[in-house]
């Protein structure tokens, strides 16, 4: 199949497919006599694996590790478990950071309640306070 067909079947942009080839996580296909790339079903399967991993916010480095582990089907899966456990910890840290950010924004949003001029807007006034001084309402309560 040509690259456009592979892109359609996997929902992946053509440029992304080429990027994955350049990065080495998707093997470059053989070329036909006319110079077109000729992708096989194993390219589609690999690309679907990569896309699934990316949908889980896995880095290309982690995907490369998983692909290496997958290429040795007789090996134990402890390394896969360890990689996923580490990824879960990273996601939990990001969730915590995002929840903190949400609270900061909600606190900031509560500084302006009602129609008045921007001169009197509590949000804009607080955004003028440098965060390193922690004098704004959105950083005081969360430190």
Q: What is the pLDDT of residues 127-139, one digit of tens each?
A: 887 776 555 667 6
Question: pTM for the full model?
Answer: 0.78
Distances (CA, A) of 72 to 18, 66, 76, 85, 139: 25, 10, 9, 20, 49
Strand partners, 37: 31
Q: What are 53-62's contacts with CB under 8 Å, separation 24+?
A: 56/87, 57/87, 57/91, 58/87, 60/23, 60/25, 62/87
Predicted confidence (pLDDT) per residue in 77-93, tens digit: 999 999 999 999 999 99
């Amino acid at each position: 199949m040509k690259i456009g067909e592979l892109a359609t079947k996997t929902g992946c942009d053509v440029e992304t497919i080429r990027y994955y080839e350049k990065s080495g996580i998707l093997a470059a296909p053989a070329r036909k006599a006319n110079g077109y790339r000729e992708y096989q079903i194993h390219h589609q399967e690999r690309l679907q694996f990569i896309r699934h991993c990316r949908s889980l916010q896995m880095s290309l480095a982690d995907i490369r590790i998983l692909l290496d582990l997958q290429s040795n089907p007789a090996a134990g899966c402890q390394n896969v478990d360890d990689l996923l456990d580490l990824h879960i910890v990273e996601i939990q840290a990001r969730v915590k950071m995002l929840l903190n950010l949400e609270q900061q924004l909600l606190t900031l949003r509560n500084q302006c309640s009602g129609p008045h001029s921007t001169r009197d807007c509590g949000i804009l006034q607080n955004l003028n306070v440098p965060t390193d001084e922690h004098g704004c309402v959105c950083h005081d309560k969360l430190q």
